[in-house]
Amino acid sequence: MINLSGKIILITGASTGIGAATAQTLAKAGANVILHYGHKQQEAEAIATQIGQDKCYLLKADLAEKNAGVKLWVEAIAWQGRIDILVNNAGIFVAASVDDEIDIWSNAWQQTLQVNLVAVADLCREAIRHFQTRDGGTIINIASRAAFRGDDPQHIHYAASKGGVISLTRTIARGFAKSNILAYAVAPGFVRTERVESYLQQVGEDFATRDIPLGKLATPEDVANVVAFLASGLAPHATGATIDINGASYVC
């Protein structure tokens, strides 16, 4: 049984999907969790109610805005005066193709990179600086299978952003291990979240499962359980590693 009692954990994008499941799983393991949300306040409040108001703290921030990650970190630290673990889960998945007008293409790239990579990097920077004043800490970044095998032509920018997350995580692991700062990436394939359900309505479930040997999509809890293990501190020498959660659809 993983025990996270006494740990303060910041989870971005915690109102739905993987983030919500992760928040609930970490709280059940004993952690106090800071739940970040962007626009889904009611959903975030529902998760907070399930966890218990004494075990969590809600924070709103639009990570599409410049420096929003830095402001979020400052507000998160103010709750208990410290953070032990950062889980960068928030991300967006917007479509744009090479056939779209340049403004649509450019906006999709800029917004996706800002939320999926720049805000992640800003939060990692703040976490590293904080962890260096303490006895280390842990960063867990949610990437994607797309970082390694690419994505469909409508989501080139998404795959590129998640590739950046992998490189960011590995560099942090190599560069700050001496400060007892651990960094891991988790790379899910198709996970049965609200966003994926909407996507499946367009492309069909067979499209998602056709190359998954396990024959079914992962659940948010599959990802949350891996995050909980990495947060436990039981595998420090795995720092820098990427954990694939894709039913063997892509094995690197």
Asked whether the CA dihedral 31, 58, 110, 22 is positive or negative, the reply is positive
Q: Give the active site residue among 37, 57, 158, 184.
A: 158
Structure tokens at 33: 């969790």
Would you say 83 and 32 are in contact if contact means Cβ atoms under 8 Å apart?
no
Would you say 64 and 114 are in contact if contact means Cβ atoms under 8 Å apart?
yes
Q: How far apart are CA 236 and CA 230, in angstroms?
A: 8
Would you say 158 and 167 are in contact if contact means Cβ atoms under 8 Å apart?
no
Catalytic, 158? Answer: yes
Would you say 23 and 95 are in contact if contact means Cβ atoms under 8 Å apart?
no
- Who's near 18: CB < 8 A, 6+ residues apart? 89, 142, 188, 191, 193, 220, 223, 224
Active site members: 158
